[in-house]
Amino acid sequence: MKSIKFSRSPLLSERLPPWRQRLVLVVLLGAFVTLVARSLYLQGFDNEFLGDKGRARFERVIDISATRGRITDRNGDVLAVSTPVRSIWAIPEDAQLAPAQARSLAALLEMDVREINQKLASEREFVYVKRQLPPELADRVTALKLPGIHQKDEYRRYYPSGEVMAHMLGFTGVEDAGQEGIELAFNGQLSGKAGSRRVIKDRRGNVVEDVESIHPPQEGRDIVLAMDSKVQYLAYSYLKQALEENRAKAGGVVVLDARSGEILALANLPTYNPNNRFKLVGAQLRNRALTDSFEPGSTMKPFTVALALDEGKVRSNTPIQTAPGRLTIGTATIHDAHMHGVLTVAQVIQKSSNVGAAKLALSMTPQDMWNMFDSLGFGAPLKLGFPGEVGGRLRPAKTWRPIEQATMAYGHGISVTLIQLARAYQTFARDGDLVPISLARLEAPPLNGKQVFSAQTAHAVRAMLEMAVLPGGTAPKAQIAGYRVAGKTGTAHKIEGGTYANKYVASFVGFAPASDPRLIVAVMIDEPSNGKYYGGDVAAPVFAQVMAGSLRTLGVAPDAPLKPLVMTSAETVKEEM
């Protein structure tokens, strides 16, 4: 083949039309301008999409978890705390463990090998192998490097006091949200809000720069309760003992600080262990002192007497004829089991005479009595913010028949909760005034309460209540060595299906030291069925034990000489029902 040199190529001698050259130039220039314009546009105007793509290469959003606040008692003892735990879960399809691996996993988790193999043989895509393990143990599981076995961070709430404070604290459910008690009442403050932030990570996964915080996390706030865990323990253990001795169905104790209105203890039985909530039944969960109302019986008499004193109808030593031990109003008759004859107003409280209290009530107008009950806080919830709190029953004064007015004087036809009763006794423990009660610890006691009775009346009733616990009264078993005590028993028939049944509620409400009251203790025992059912026999000893222990724990100075107590006189006075 003959070759032709390029420079001599005949094609070169051919002249091309000049427009072709210009066309190529224009096309190339146009393409170049388009590229520049496009890059300017992407860089300057529509830069969001590519910017995001770029940031996605090095920026990460990290979730920041927030822990739930702690609950402590007034002295800082921890009552509820959340601590991180880890759950081990598996994808059964991926988790093909060699027998040796399965054995070492079982040994770490303290589980049976067969149980683990059974779980891993599941058809499902996700199974929990074991939940809520301590982090150290979970780390050792990680070290085994098993295929298909994963871990998940969770929080678990622990209640070190267990069943002693179960009703007050309540518990949290899944997702760490409060379900009962304080956990629910203060859920807003306790629960934190998880946050998230955007950071730049380097190639080793270390965070090197904080770009922005998307939602700042909000840690749950700690709650300091008014409760004193020692007083609570005393209340709980003595109540438990009394329930066993009297074979009672249920019971409750409330301890209030008379000066500040703080709830120092609140115990209910039956109870449950909040750390282990299998097989819970409704009866165990009830915080009876707040959510169940009952007919209080004679513990209401002091209020009737106080109103009569306040209105100037009678004085402490005014004689009242209670013979012949019954009082017929309309078709109904009120009885005293023992004939007392002429009693002074003070003795009506001391001996707990129904007829005497009824006669006093009938000397007053229904509206005045209703106003008194209402200002004492009966008939309406105390609004503590506690879930399920009830107000009891107080019917409007206009609907009262005379017999009802008379029975209300000694605590029938009206129902109250234990906490309402304890609070109403503030009027006698204080100078006739009421302060709000508080679940949380107060920095300073409330200054002035709402005056219900005059200070003079309060002191007169206090003296009568002191007589009731001395020999000759209904509750000598409520006495405490070294302290002057004042209080009142209550024994009421229970209503079942609209009529009064042969079942009882025994109660006692009192305060000490009587010279300068510091604590109010209310005790209620439901259906004592071991022979004894009077408030003075069943509830008063619990009161004395709880009160004595609490006064000693709180270091309250004795106001009476320390000498052995006289528990019984020749005739034990039984209160009327």
Of residues 478 through 537, those in contact with another protein by CB under 8 A are: 481-482
- Single residue of 207, 283, 566, 567 touching another protein by CB under 8 A: 207
- Cα–Cα distance, 569 to 479 (Å, whole number): 13
How far are the Cα atoms of 129, 199, 546, 554, 558 from residue 480, in angstroms, in the given order?
56, 66, 10, 15, 10
Beginning with the edge strand found earlier in the chain, give each strand of the sheet holding 250-257 in spatial order.
263-269, 250-257, 519-526, 499-512, 486-496
- Single residue of 70, 86, 119, 288 touching another protein by CB under 8 A: 70
210 binds another protein (CB under 8 A): yes
Q: Which is nearer to another protein, 70 or 286 (CB)?
A: 70
> Using CB under 8 A, which of the segments 117-125, 435-443, 522-530, 561-569 binds another protein?
561-569
Closest distance between another protein and the C-beta of residue 320, in Å? 36
Query: Is 298 annotated as catalytic?
Result: yes
> Using CB under 8 A, which of the segments 2-10, 123-131, 171-179, 558-566 binds another protein?
558-566
554 binds another protein (CB under 8 A): no
558 binds another protein (CB under 8 A): yes
- Single residue of 10, 17, 99, 564 touching another protein by CB under 8 A: 564
Catalytic residue among 260, 298, 415, 438: 298
Structure tokens at 231: 């007083």
> What does the per-residue mask of binding to another protein show for 228-267, with x meaning CB under 8 A?
-xx--x---x------------------------------
Q: Which is nearer to another protein, 73 or 466 (CB)?
A: 73
63 binds another protein (CB under 8 A): no
Single-letter amino acid, residue 165: M
The DSSP code sequence of 165-202 is: GHHHH--B-GGG-B-SHHHHHTHHHHS-B-EEEEEEE-
Q: Which is nearer to another protein, 160 or 319 (CB)?
A: 160
Structure tokens at 287: 């915080």
323 binds another protein (CB under 8 A): no
| 197-225 burial code (b ≥16 CB/10 A, e <16) | bebeeeeeeeeeeeeeeeeebeebeebbb
How far are the Cα atoms of 232, 290, 493 from residue 227, in angstroms, in the given order?
7, 15, 32
DSSP 577: -
How far are the Cα atoms of 58, 242, 299 from residue 321, in angstroms, in the given order?
94, 37, 21
CB 273 within 8 A of CB 396: no
Q: Which is nearer to another protein, 16 or 562 (CB)?
A: 562
Give Cα 492 to chain centroid, integer Å.
28
82 binds another protein (CB under 8 A): yes
List of residues contacting another protein (CB under 8 A): 67, 70, 77-79, 81-84, 158, 160-162, 164, 202, 206-210, 229-230, 233, 237, 481-482, 557-558, 562-565
Catalytic residues: 298
